[in-house]
Amino acid sequence: MAMSEEQMTRRRWLDMFVKMAAGVTAVALSVPTFVMLIVPAFRREKAPWIRVGHISEFRPNEPKAVTLSYQRRDGWVIRTARTTVYVVVTGDGKVKVLSNICTHANCAVRWERSKQAFFCPCHDGYFAIDGSVKSGPPTRPLDEFPHKIEGGEIFVRLQT
Ligand code: FES
């Protein structure tokens, strides 16, 4: 049985309406899903303050290595990372939190009490107690991390 022209038009309109409704629904569902999956990969969260220790644990002019364990977000993944820093309290009570990574080629430095310097064994680099270069191939000082002291507790922010 043949359809009238009016039935054809109604059927086409209905067909078009159903397809448009399906399209709108698909977009409405996919946009939030897409945003939920993609946004975390680009989100840059401010690094948290990590407790290093109470100021009374550190003696003046005796840098002390502290290994910190903290949660680090990497896109969708949250990992536990570890970093070693040196806490330096100067004679006048000022605090510095220095990286233990040599700025020449990323070897780990260690405090040499007898030489009163940070020593890098890879290429015999030396850094002063404030992190500045004393001798050897490094051309810039040890990196310093931002820190704060609250109620005698030292906190450091590792990512800038
Ligand atoms: S890596 Fe430290 S002096 Fe070369």
**What are 1-30's pLDDT values in tens digits?**
566 777 778 888 888 889 999 999 988 888
Determine the distance separating the centroid of ligand 1 and the alpha carbon of 58, expressed in angstroms.
Answer: 27
* Residue having the nearest C-alpha atom to atom 1 of ligand 1: 105
* Partner residues linked to 130 by β-bridges: none
Give the residue among 107, 103, 125, 129 at the shortest CA–CA distance from 116: 129
Rounded distance between C-alpha atoms, residue 48 and residue 143, angstroms: 18
What number does CATH give the domain 49-157? 2.102.10.10
Structural domain boundaries in the chain: 1-41, 49-157
User: If 0-12 CB within 10 Å is exposed, 13-18 middle and 19+ buried, where does residue 69 land?
Assistant: exposed
Least confident of 19-23, 51-55, 112-116, 156-160: 156-160
Rounded distance between C-alpha atoms, residue 54 and residue 73, angstroms: 26
Average pLDDT, integer, range 116-142? 97
| DSSP letter assigned to residue 101 | B
For the chain, the average pLDDT equals: 90
Q: Are the C-beta atoms of 49 and 153 separated by less than 8 Å?
A: no
Task: Give me the pLDDT at residue 39, please.
Answer: 74
Candidate of 99, 104, 140 to mutate for ligand 1, largest count of ligand atoms within 8 Å of Cβ: 104
Q: Is the CB of 122 under 6 A from ligand 1?
A: yes
Note the pLDDT tens digit of each residue in 66-83. 999 998 877 778 889 999
- pTM value is 0.75
Determine the distance separating the centroid of ligand 1 and the alpha carbon of 160, expressed in angstroms.
Answer: 23
